[in-house]
A and B are shown apart, each in its own frame.
Chain A
């Protein structure tokens, strides 16, 4: 599912996710610069600073 971010105050608060409705013409909104596509998925090469399951304590 595509994700979009608001890039114009005419559509809403800039930087907030755009919740598309069935009646929204996405291509028109993109072409007009009102919203932008957003890829919030981390790239394959990205590494997390802390692994979610790694212990935070250094005590041996």
Chain B
């Protein structure tokens, strides 16, 4: 049976810092590069798992107040972030509310969009690193 869910209270944290109330969108891509593993005699393309190529993109409001978005991200550009976690609900981690952890991803840039008459935002993408789901 198809279900639809209104996403309202996901949680995203960079390290120990919870930025959920500044985040409007999160796109997680758990990817493992597919490598062709064909040889003479193959009659169809076959693949084998290559390296992980994960990424997590966040759209955030650009708050420069103390302990907000700017304070959190300014020192992370060009560095590897130890852990970033995300889950669909603020409820406890479980099989139906898994916690995704991206470890040692890289933040290449911190683009900020200043638009007249609108709240300032930034869209960041954490690239690479290892990813795992946790249900406990």
Binding site for B on A (CB under 8 A): 7-12, 18, 21, 23-25, 28-29, 31-34
Contacts and interface: CB of A to CB of B under 8 A. Distances in A.
Contacts, number: 45
Contacts of A11: 16-18
A26 to B, nearest CB: 10
A8 B1 CA distance: 43
A25 B17 CA distance: 11
B83 interface: yes
28 contacts: A8-B17, A8-B67, A9-B18, A9-B67, A10-B67, A10-B72, A11-B17, A11-B18, A12-B16, A18-B16, A21-B16, A23-B15, A23-B83, A23-B103, A24-B15, A24-B82, A25-B15, A28-B15, A29-B15, A29-B16, A31-B75, A32-B17, A32-B67, A32-B71, A32-B72, A33-B66, A33-B71, A34-B17
A23 B103 CA distance: 9
A34 B73 CA distance: 13
Nearest to B74: A32
For chain B, give the interface size range.
10 to 19
Interface-centre pick from A8, A10, A24 (highest chain B CB count, 10 A): A10
Nearest to A11: B16
Contacts of A24: 15-16, 82
A31 B16 CA distance: 14
A34 B75 contact: no
